[in-house]
Structure 1
Amino acid sequence: MEQNLHFSQISLRLFKTLSEASGLQALVDLGYEILGNPFTITDHSVKVLASTGETKVTDDPVWNELKMNNHFIFQTYSYYVRNSLFNEITRNEAPFYWSDPYCKYRRLIGKIRINKRDVAILVACAHNRDFKERDEELVSLLCDAFSIELQKTKYIDFSQVLMHQNFLYDLLNGMYEDERLIVERLKILGLKFKRKLFVINIDIQNLDRSKSTLPYMRDEVENKLVNAKAIVYNQNVVVLASCENDRHFQEIELKNLKEFIHNNNLRAGISRPFLKLTDVKEHYLESTEAIKLGNLMNKKQSFYKYEDYLIFDLINSYSDTQKWKKFIHQSLIRLIEYDKENGTDYFRSFYTYLCNFKNVKDSATILNIHRNTLFHRMEKIESLLDVDLNDGDVLFQLYLSYKILEFLKIALP
């Protein structure tokens, strides 16, 4: 009876704090008074949303790391993935105890849920006193209170993260056709993107699940880019990135992301730049095709630009790829046969010449030959091709033929 009265009083104090709209930290401070031990509230990537501040825990390495960085470093996070902490959190509906060699003090862990969905974790540390049996019920009660607070508060980072992800999900599913509705949604969410937009799709099928999880990888990717938001979508990490300065984006931000992708044995595709958020779905499909075609044609790379594979996407979309052979310029076939018969390298030389917009100097440098040598070589090539190389349509047909041959060599047996 006495304990029921005690919990009744605690419930009333929690209810009063919630009703006064005092904010998350006021609820945390009351929770510390009720529980008598420090605790943190984190999301599932172990990013700290709130924590008690009165007690200074100085002799617990895991607690200190979390408080100092507001998140776990990658090695610590990987340790808890390998040791099934997150599986235990998913499996246990009620608060449970946790101990490991790196935590000096035992933990009591409870889940915070919104609409039957796990959204955050409360981790109490037995620093001030040992846990008692009633603490499990207290933690459960606090988790319910924090669920209410997270739902009613519109301006905390965590609520914003959930709303941002829902918005991205709708964009990727093509739910918005009216740009005006998107503008209004951006205002409500407090979201801002720069003028030039990109979709980056990161294939995580090679992700070492013993070291990381999708939510953690999503946050890591988002942190590599400025003016970007990431979401877990179709079991990949998809990023809506934006920039004003394309050079800075390509040379700095994408460079860091490429290194991260390479170091973690991942693959990624990036769409062409675009300007309207109504086009997100279309450019997501571009990023997906970039990964597929990049994997097919250049397995040594890990980051693929759709613009580099656009023409191959066109070829691949043809219902019967074999029929593309009829579009190959016959003069190019003659050039290939001449190389085979005479041991020359005219086929590659001419392609280099085409790709460098008929610039003899640049082409000669790439081929590592003297420009006069290339000049005489081009005279011979032009006579073999028997075409007018000043005709733009002819040049396009020849370039397309090269791309068809490059694709068919990979795609067909």
Structure 2
Amino acid sequence: MQKKNDLYKKKYELYNSLFTENSIDGILNIGENFLGNAIFILDTSYHIIARSNLAKLDNSSIETHNGKSYLLLNIIQLMKKNKCIDNIYNSDNAFFYNSDEVLIFCSIRINNITVGYISVLQSKREFNAEDLELTNVLSKVFSIQLQKENLFISNSGLDEEYYLTDLLINRIDNIEYLTERLKYINFNLYENLIILSIPFKQKYNDYRDNYGLKELIRHLKNILRNCISTYYKDTIIFLISNEHKEVINDSLKETLLEFLKLNNLRCGISIVFESLLDIEDFFNQSIYALELSSCMKIDNNINYFEDYIEYYLFNMAMCTTNDLYQINLLTLVHPWIKKLIKFDAQNKSELFKTLKTYLENNRNANDTSSQLNIHRSTFFYRFNKIQSLLDISLGNNNNLFKLELSFKILDYNTLIKT
């Protein structure tokens, strides 16, 4: 009887900590006093949100990147292999887990969505059955506290969103590490990437309102296919990856456009890029595409930043404050130019030089051939090869303007470096 009373008092103290402590760290300390072992709170990207005092002394399972702490990749691999992650998502209750260490795991849920989990490490004393009950209570207490602190209030309830949010708000310095972590979600990281952003103002009077956001994201993921998403700054954001340079082809664009129209939504799309190191620039490209189209009263559901590059430059030139995000100039170079550079490197050709010389010679074939010291027939072979490779017409003034602007950006970048 006394044992039951003691357990009841501990549970009461845990629930009461919502009022007496009113902080994650305070609740953690009370939980650690009762469980007598190190406690970790993690989100679904294996990022460690908080640690109890004992847990702060144990760094054997932790690695740090950009000031953030994460579980070691080999531990994640082991947890996946042993179905531990599946158990966390599929169970409402705490359970024991035995590997090299003995642990207790329990999901933290908000409206039946797993937003994180508790990990208790058997470090000071052996576990007993009572510890599972206390961990279950601790999970419910953290669910309430996390909502109070709004830590997950913008969360869509999709596992991978923490990865993308991490990419957007934390500076990346290790692509290999990041690529390795992305393997643990259902996302293939191909060579070609874009950011697609959709403004979506959500009212969070009740966390259950998130159901609509969650369903909206799920529908879009079905359309966009290989992507990860997040909800950040009143915007639904997708990182989309594809083997092909045309990340959003005509068929996909048609389906996306229909969905956006039906739901009265607009999206901004960045230029195609390859390196995740530059993701913040390309995210802001998608946002500027939306803002500039609105300013110019262009009522498109789909807005490509590549159509607004010059207007972005005009906008920055006219800005009288320093509060606008300045995109790295080299990320404004059109994908067509990048494609030519890559093709030349792989095939030891001179398409980039040929096109640049052609534009510098006022689009005169004779002068271009003479300057390159090649026959006219060789020039026209290269000319047609460029059109075929880029799938564009070099007789289109708008296309030529985009190319010339990119060449000028590259020239300017070279000049300021010398």
Q: TM-score range by the shorter chain?
A: 0.3 to 0.5
TM-score (norm 1): 0.47
User: Of the two, which has the highest radius of gyration?
Assistant: 1
TM-score (norm 2): 0.46
